[in-house]
Structure 1
């Protein structure tokens, strides 16, 4: 029996499909295809996300590294020359500017509020196929990933939303249509192991690149990760969010080690501000505080201690 498609009822989408469709319809027009030509004539491609109507967009640093010519193509067919405003290989992020106004643009959400198991949608241009959408869940939070510069990027989002070459620099979007991450890498030999730079980190780095063209940071000389606190402990400490930063390693001779910080210590406050995540530390480690004494409240086993650290400068 043949069916006339025109007679099919316009059925509402199920809740899962509705969120994916909403995310794509909201952010898709702001995701661009980036073409990057190197000095030797080799061409590469990637994705980017317009975040301001006057032509500012964010992408991965490795997408534009070494390029002498950059272009951005919108889903509506328009194509613009792009200018590099600044890049930060340490977080694998870069900001470009298009000479245009009134462009579709996306809004960022808080990656620190993501939960494992939450729906996320990846939008980009894998293998040159423009405006491709894939969906999955947040598989893990607080991952670390080594950037092209060799520095570890903290608070990376792991997702099983499939990515392919060309997705780099594209948007990771929540069900409400907010960009919560910038897709950056996948593990090709595995299935469903894909990573995105957290939206909180992206917003902070973007502001600095737009202001200075680069990111200069103070350095503590430690590695750590965002970890949950026991709910009873969080209440006792009167913390509105139940997480902090646990130190994995303090580099010998570095500022943190010289201040007495040890592996296993939990950083609760830094420079008078409450620390909930590694992103919070990154945000505070600006060049302005380098070589100045800073108070840091840590929990060591069951006791609270205040240490004084003098951050170095990470050039």
Structure 2
């Protein structure tokens, strides 16, 4: 959990609509929030429970903020929000490699002379979470709960509950867990789009296991493409200067009205501790992610299907563009919603549904609100002329329907947790793609085939594994072929290598 923010992901790539908040897998967080430009006297902490648009029951506080000099009084927001931020304890098993004495026989006659062995060791991690529904739903970061064998949640009143993982989304670094309890305190959702630069925000969490900690700062930037090395799905973070540290991950970023405006996810630091920069996933992105997880079992990402770059002065001169900001369309996906709607190479996307677009990060942020099949108005500048197109967003498979969580998905079939390699890992290994085996179930198909944790998958049945969906498609094709030929058992041929030795290995996995 307590990781350091990694260096920034590239702006090129297909625009994934609902790309939910990516926070790098850094295990330190940051919060940003916004408040109204005018503050009224506190009228009390009366709240009314109601179902919000995301399908969770939480309370809307009837509080305002008093002015003390030129700064708002943040005490009502702090006192109310701290009750709904929890401490999460995660127990997991970690594979540790130990190096033994050199075996001279292996040294002279081949094999691994170092006599490496692997053993399992129990580890405990900590983080924060936010109660978003009074019946026990809690939002946190994926990297907080990832690989956890046992989750426990401690409330602000010191009650402790066992929690279960409802679902997670590694690309946005958001997860949804649940405890069996009723009438829990909650934080109402705010609107992260309404945040303004310089607004006061509070970061609420459990840094260094110091429970119920509140720090204050201002919104330093919006739609920030944080400097991370991971291939995250979100590049539109809220940047604040509120102090966050290891253990804050998954905690709340609230505005002066006590509304949840972000989920603290990572920091920028060379030491692992707070250095003045922290980043939060906007609640408008995070809320959609957990809503999809609860309703569909998986995140519904609408795809625009374009690739390109932010407009810069160099690009303006090179391509003869007539605008100085926006997202330049250089290419399209194999199946592209934008291309089908009439958008062309060389167009500059300047607005989505009337919301101004000045960068790829803003494009992601706007599209993250939609699902496959949703229609959006995309405004482009084409050689100085402004045009607007109605684009029906597609899913990751190129269709316009919502995707259902498959009980026979590749991860479930293989009994493993897989993760796409981050940019730093790809660079270190000299690869352009790959999936790493993070954990294995005790009786999994991969373990039976001889695969160990840490193995990097490169191909499946000779198909390059550039993403998790590539593996899912290979497994689906095997299932289809097996259903047509009952006498033939499905066999998956995997090829990859172990980073610690560089040994390239192939496995045959029976499904």
What range is the shorter-chain TM-score in?
A: 0.7 to 0.9
Partner of 1:185: 266
**The structure with more radius of gyration:** 2
* Aligned partner of 2:372 among 287, 291, 295: 287
Structure 2: distance between partners of 1:195 and 1:223: 25
* Aligned partner of 2:167 among 86, 98, 103: 86
Partner of 2:351: 268
Is 1:112 aligned to 2:198, yes or no? no
Partner of 1:100: 181
| Count of paired positions | 278
- Scaled by the length of structure 1, the TM-score of the pair is 0.78
CA apart distance, 1:44: 0.9
The answer (yes or no) to whether the contact 1:187–1:193 under 8 Å persists in 2 is yes
* Aligned partner of 2:81 among 14, 18, 27: 27
Change (3 A) 1:249 1:305: closer
Structure 1: distance between partners of 2:337 and 2:297: 28
Is 1:163 aligned to 2:249, yes or no? no
The answer (yes or no) to whether the contact 2:226–2:235 under 8 Å persists in 1 is yes
Residue 104 of structure 1 aligns to a residue whose secondary structure is coil
The answer (yes or no) to whether the contact 1:181–1:199 under 8 Å persists in 2 is yes
- Scaled by the length of structure 2, the TM-score of the pair is 0.50
- Name the structure where strand makes up a greater proportion of residues: 1
Change (3 A) 1:299 1:117: same
Which runs of 5 or more residues in structure 2 are unaligned?
A: 1-65, 95-121, 311-324, 357-361, 397-468, 470-511
User: Per-residue CA shift, 1:37-92, capped at 9, x if unaligned?
Assistant: 11332111110000111001100111111111111101110000111111111211
Residue 287 of structure 1 aligns to a residue whose secondary structure is coil
Residue 165 of structure 2 aligns to a residue whose secondary structure is strand
The answer (yes or no) to whether the contact 2:80–2:258 under 8 Å persists in 1 is yes
Residue 299 of structure 2 aligns to a residue whose secondary structure is coil
The answer (yes or no) to whether the contact 2:329–2:348 under 8 Å persists in 1 is no
CA apart distance, 1:283: 1.6
Is 1:297 aligned to 2:379, yes or no? yes
Residue 313 of structure 1 aligns to a residue whose secondary structure is coil
Structure 2: distance between partners of 1:87 and 1:31: 19
Which runs of 5 or more residues in structure 1 are unaligned?
A: 1-11, 226-244
Q: Pick 1 or 2: higher relative contact order, CA cutoff 8 A, min separation 6.
A: 2
The answer (yes or no) to whether the contact 1:91–1:147 under 8 Å persists in 2 is no
The answer (yes or no) to whether the contact 2:377–2:391 under 8 Å persists in 1 is yes
Residue 135 of structure 2 aligns to a residue whose secondary structure is coil
Structure 2: distance between partners of 1:155 and 1:102: 33
CA apart distance, 1:250: 4.4
